[in-house]
Amino acid sequence: MTGKVFFSVSMSLDGFIAPGSLGELMGRQWMELQRWIFPQRFFRENLKLGEGGEEGRDNDIVRETFERTGASVMGRRMFDAGEQMWPEEAPFHTPVFVVTHEKRDPWERPGGTVFHFVNDGIETALDQARQAAGDRDVRIAGGGATILEYVNAGLVDEFSIALSPVLFGSGIRLFEGVDAGRVALTQVRAEPTQRATHLTYAVRER
Ligand SMILES: NC(=O)c1ccc[n+]([C@@H]2O[C@H](COP(=O)([O-])OP(=O)(O)OC[C@H]3O[C@@H](n4cnc5c(N)ncnc54)[C@H](OP(=O)(O)O)[C@@H]3O)[C@@H](O)[C@H]2O)c1
**pLDDT for the residue 2:** 79
Query: In order along the chain (206 residues), what is the average pLDDT of each group of 10 residues?
Result: 92 94 71 96 94 96 98 97 94 98 98 98 98 98 97 98 95 96 96 98 94
Say if ligand 1 is within 6 A of residue 102 CB: yes
What CATH number should be reported for the domain holding residue 115?
3.40.430.10
Say if ligand 1 is within 6 A of residue 14 CB: no
The answer to whether the CB of 49 falls within 8 A of the CB of 86 is no
Say if ligand 1 is within 6 A of residue 129 CB: no
Smallest CA separation from ligand 1 atom 45, residue:
18
Handedness of CA 193, 195, 78, 45 (dihedral sign): negative
Domain range holding 185? 5-205
Spell out the residues 6+ positions from residue 174 whose beta carbon is closer than 8 angstroms to its own: 9, 11, 15, 16, 17, 144, 147, 148, 161
Q: Supply the pTM of this predicted model.
A: 0.96
Specify the amino acid at residue 59. N
How far does residue 52's CA lie from ligand 1's centre (Å)?
Answer: 32
**pLDDT for the residue 63:** 98
How many structural domains compose the chain? 1
What's CA 90's distance to the chain center, in Å?
A: 14
Say if ligand 1 is within 6 A of residue 153 CB: no
